[in-house]
């Protein structure tokens, strides 16, 4: 089959590889019908996440038709159409019982690697480094799905793939970000980063009762998309715009009740601080560039909440913890507990309350994927979301 492979930093290639086979009794094999490139895949592309191996199959956002199931799989069968969550959960450990699916004890074959780096291991993830399990990802024609009784969500309607595909990651991630923001009726919520997760966080914030959302980004197409969702846009790249001043100006000096950092570890800031992080990460003196997080902590109102769906990977420098303490803020973060959100969010899509496919800007083939990683990383061609049809030879964009 064809698969998109990580071949080194800034090096993605499409290769012919062997088809996946059942390896465990709870495995399923899917014929992938749609898959997407996630903003967090760019962190792998840029070499920010350690323990990638040359030849790793990329991709953690995918859906497909069940091709084959292992001897112990009872929830899905050949021919079923399913969306697969990017985190893998066993359903039986202490954490799965608490519905902290992303903290599952039993799905990461390389848990020891994560324990060495972080003290504890989370669940396994598809196509996202070997410390996260080393599972082959779904930017391919077929994919193996472990613990198939627990993860895959059956789609039993005739909605097109594109409307349900983002239940695999970005929609639940944006929704959990809004839920983690502890939004009360009438609140003002600020969102850093208007990529797919930011867009879903904005939509979800309104669904959860926010009176006003302020969207922060530097790309016109993303800001325009946020504005269409009803957000007030702040373009931080514009001359004379200071994000912290803007947030005070529009909230009467109070600051947003909740701040959502949907940027993560590769923040771009135009100022001296941004340069500081760029130099330090280049010299390997710092692992992440936490510019958005710093601003979120500084901007949030006294006693407010900072919610962090953006991915962080290492040690952070110059985090304004004094401000966090002084204001008595709450911070909530982490990989999405996917399995709790997929079904309720599917219901919202079926009811027509939201159409997740409106973020898609590019439709491509597997062969075009390597080039599109570059295009998205370099922020050319107004990319908002790239969807891959693994069986198409050529697709009109």
Partner 1 sequence: MTMAELSNAKTNAQDKPSGASAVFNGRYMPPPEDGGGQRWVRTSMIIQASAEALYARWRDVESATQWHGQTVNVRRTGMKTSHWTMMVGDKKIEWESEILADEPGRRIAWHSIGGDLDEAGEVIFEPATGGRGTMVTVLQEYRMGALENLSQTISGRNPKQGVIESLRHFKALAETGEIPRTEGQPHGPRGAIANMKRSMYGETVPTPPGELRRAG
Report the interface residues with partner 1, using CB under 8 A: 1, 3, 5, 7, 13, 15, 17-27, 51, 53-57, 70-72, 90-94, 97, 105-113, 124, 130-131, 133-136, 140, 144, 146-147
Q: Are 331 and 324 in contact (CB under 8 A)?
A: yes
Residue 92 or 245: the one with the smaller Cβ distance to partner 1 is 92
Task: Give the nearest distance from C-beta 294 to partner 1 in angstroms.
Answer: 33
Task: Give the nearest distance from C-beta 245 to partner 1 in angstroms.
Answer: 46
- Rounded to whole angstroms, the Cα distance separating 106 from 228 reads 42
- Rounded to whole angstroms, the Cα distance separating 297 from 293 reads 6
CB neighbour burial string for 221-240, b if at least 16 within 10 angstroms, e if fewer: ebbebbeebebebbbbeeee
Residue 71 or 157: the one with the smaller Cβ distance to partner 1 is 71
Residue 204 structure tokens: 């979800």
Task: Give the nearest distance from C-beta 378 to partner 1 in angstroms.
Answer: 23
Torsion angle, CA of 263/269/273/278, rounded to 10 degrees? 80
Residue 23 or 237: the one with the smaller Cβ distance to partner 1 is 23
Residue 19 or 238: the one with the smaller Cβ distance to partner 1 is 19
Task: Give the nearest distance from C-beta 392 to partner 1 in angstroms.
Answer: 20
- 277-282: which pairs have CB atoms within 8 A and are 24 or more residues apart? 277/317, 280/317
- Rounded to whole angstroms, the Cα distance separating 255 from 51 reads 39
Residue 111 or 190: the one with the smaller Cβ distance to partner 1 is 111
Task: Give the nearest distance from C-beta 176 to partner 1 in angstroms.
Answer: 24
Secondary structure letter of residue 20 according to DSSP: P
Task: Give the nearest distance from C-beta 52 to partner 1 in angstroms.
Answer: 8
Residue 121 or 340: the one with the smaller Cβ distance to partner 1 is 121
Torsion angle, CA of 286/292/293/298, rounded to 10 degrees? 120
Reduced to 3 states (helix: H, G, I; strand: E, B; else coil), residue 13 is: strand
Residue 60 or 385: the one with the smaller Cβ distance to partner 1 is 60
Task: Give the nearest distance from C-beta 249 to partner 1 in angstroms.
Answer: 49
- Rounded to whole angstroms, the Cα distance separating 266 from 274 reads 10
Task: Give the nearest distance from C-beta 118 to partner 1 in angstroms.
Answer: 15
**For the chain, how many residues are written?**
397
Task: Give the nearest distance from C-beta 133 to partner 1 in angstroms.
Answer: 7
- 176-179: which pairs have CB atoms within 8 A and are 24 or more residues apart? 176/309, 176/336, 176/337, 176/341, 177/201, 177/204, 177/260, 177/262, 177/307, 177/308, 177/309, 178/204, 178/205, 178/207, 178/208, 178/210, 178/260, 178/307, 179/204, 179/208
Residue 91 or 320: the one with the smaller Cβ distance to partner 1 is 91
Residue 131 or 234: the one with the smaller Cβ distance to partner 1 is 131
Q: Are 325 and 300 in contact (CB under 8 A)?
A: no
């Amino acid at each position: 089959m064809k698969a998109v492979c990580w071949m080194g930093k800034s090096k993605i290639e499409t290769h012919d590889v062997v088809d996946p086979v059942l390896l465990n009794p709870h495995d399923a094999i899917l014929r992938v019908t749609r898959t997407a490139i996630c903003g967090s895949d760019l962190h792998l592309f840029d070499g920010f996440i350690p323990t990638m191996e040359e030849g790793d199959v990329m991709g953690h956002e995918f859906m497909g038709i069940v091709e084959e199931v292992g001897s112990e799989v009872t929830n899905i069968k050949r021919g079923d159409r399913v969306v697969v969550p990017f985190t893998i959960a066993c359903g039986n450990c202490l954490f799965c019982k608490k519905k902290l699916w992303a903290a599952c004890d039993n799905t990461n074959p390389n848990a020891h690697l994560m324990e060495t780096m972080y003290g504890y291991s989370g669940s396994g993830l598809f196509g996202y480094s070997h410390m996260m399990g080393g599972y082959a990802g779904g930017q391919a024609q077929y994919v193996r799905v472990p613990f198939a009784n627990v993860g895959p969500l059956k789609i039993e309607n005739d909605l097109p793939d594109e409307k349900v595909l983002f239940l695999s990651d970005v929609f639940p991630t944006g929704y959990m970000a809004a839920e983690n923001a502890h939004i009360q009726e009438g609140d003002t919520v600020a969102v850093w980063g208007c990529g797919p997760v930011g867009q879903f966080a904005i939509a979800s914030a309104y669904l959860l009762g926010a009176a006003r959302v302020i969207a922060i980004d530097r790309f016109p197409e993303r800001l325009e998309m946020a504005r269409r969702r009803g957000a007030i846009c702040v373009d931080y790249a514009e001359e004379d715009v200071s994000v912290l001043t803007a947030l005070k100006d529009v909230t009467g000096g109070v600051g947003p009740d909740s701040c959502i950092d949907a940027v993560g570890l590769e923040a771009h800031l135009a100022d001296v601080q941004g340069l500081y992080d760029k130099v330090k990460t280049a010299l390997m003196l710092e692992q992440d560039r936490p510019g958005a997080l710093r601003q979120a902590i500084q901007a949030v109102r006294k006693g407010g909440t900072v919610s962090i769906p953006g991915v962080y990977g290492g040690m952070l420098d110059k985090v304004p913890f004094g401000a966090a303490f002084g204001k008595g803020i709450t911070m909530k973060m982490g990989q999405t507990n996917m399995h709790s959100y997929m079904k309720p969010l599917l219901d919202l899509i079926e009811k027509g309350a939201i159409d997740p496919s409106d973020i898609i800007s590019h439709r491509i083939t597997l062969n075009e994927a390597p080039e599109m990683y570059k295009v998205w990383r370099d922020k050319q061609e107004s990319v908002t979301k790239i969807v891959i049809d693994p069986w198409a030879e050529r697709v009109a964009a």
